[in-house]
Amino acid sequence: MGMLDGKVVLITGAGRGIGRDFAISMAAAGARVVVNDLGSSTDGTDIEGTPAQEVVKTIGDAGGEAVANFGNVSKFEDAQQMVQDAIDNFGQLDAVVNNAGILRDRMFHKMSIEEWHDVVNVHLNGSFYVSRAAADHFRERETGAFVHMTSTSGLIGNFGQANYSAAKIGIVGLSKSIALDMGRYNVRSNCIAPFAWTRMIGTIPITDEVQRERVERLKEMTPDKIAPMAVYLCSDSAKDVTGQIFAVRHNEIFLMGQHRPVRSMHRDGWTPETIAEHAMPAFKSSLYALDRSQDVWPWDPV
């Protein structure tokens, strides 16, 4: 028996890259899959074929069950239809993987309003729309699992990705809120920050030798390495795991920290001057460096 026998899973952005491996792995684990993919380019501007249908065929050829959905996650009515497709075709929905995404990288001081809205609409609003569309069904059945894709660009930081970073850290807050609000209905919500070479990552501009070396390391990390964690989080084996953030890098799995107090100072009334003279010197050794993801993971993937 597979870990997902009897389950129905909806995966957004499942036509290519990480999402494709998610869909194929979920089906191999016994799930019936709704493969959502708009078929757009990495920046979301053009439609490039019907990859969702191709993944459905791959799953079918291997003996699995899947249906394609071509909806846009940044439209709530499309998100509702994704959930309805699962119910209409398979009678239920057990898990949602919010994976769809685009990139519009630009240094902050050059980023357009359109570039900001487009990325936030797909990543953050899209994750909310699809999750909200599934929430009533999960609540009625008193079961369900959400897996949201975040990024170390949001958890730690990166150049030229203010839109993407803000959306991805927003997804962490969304996931935690879902875990808190829907825990009473046995609904779980977790995040994965993946390290993998995909066509979307391939659009990141290479501006220096450090970035070039990072990209070369990423090429070694294939999307199929991320799928086992997603399958696990959608399974009943993860029934007690919720509100967590995991990072997966090749053969490494990390449980990521979350915001908690680091140090505290007390004084009977603070002024700007005493903050400068007393609090900040005490905090100085604990202040976070302005790191990027590659600064935190300087070693080659295992």
Question: Coil, helix or strand for 204?
Answer: coil
**Distant-in-sequence, close-in-space partners of 118: CB < 8 Å, separation ≥ 6:** 44, 102, 104, 163
DSSP element (H, E) containing 182: helix 162-182
Question: Coil, helix or strand for 53?
Answer: helix
Among candidate residues 164, 185, 232, 288, the one labeled active-site is 164
| Per-residue confidence (pLDDT) for residue 166, from 0 to 100 | 98
- Contact between 5 and 32 under an 8 Å Cβ cutoff? The reply is no
Q: Give the tens place of pLDDT for each residue, 1-19.
A: 799 999 999 999 999 999 9
Q: Give the tens place of pLDDT for each residue, 87-129.
A: 999 999 999 999 999 999 999 999 999 999 999 999 999 999 9
- The 10 Å Cβ neighbour count of residue 152 is 23
Please state whether beta strands 187-195 and 32-36 pair in parallel, antiparallel, or not at all (unpaired).
unpaired
Q: What residue ranges do the domains of the chain occupy?
A: 8-258
| Per-residue confidence (pLDDT) for residue 1, from 0 to 100 | 75
- Whole-angstrom Cα distance, residue 252 to residue 254? 7
Per CATH, the number for 8-258 is 3.40.50.720
DSSP element (H, E) containing 191: strand 187-195
Instruction: Output the average pLDDT for the chain.
Output: 92
pTM of the model: 0.91
Q: Give the tens place of pLDDT for each residue, 140-158.
A: 999 999 999 999 999 999 9
The answer, yes or no, to whether residue 233 has pLDDT greater than 80, is yes
- Is 164 designated active site? yes
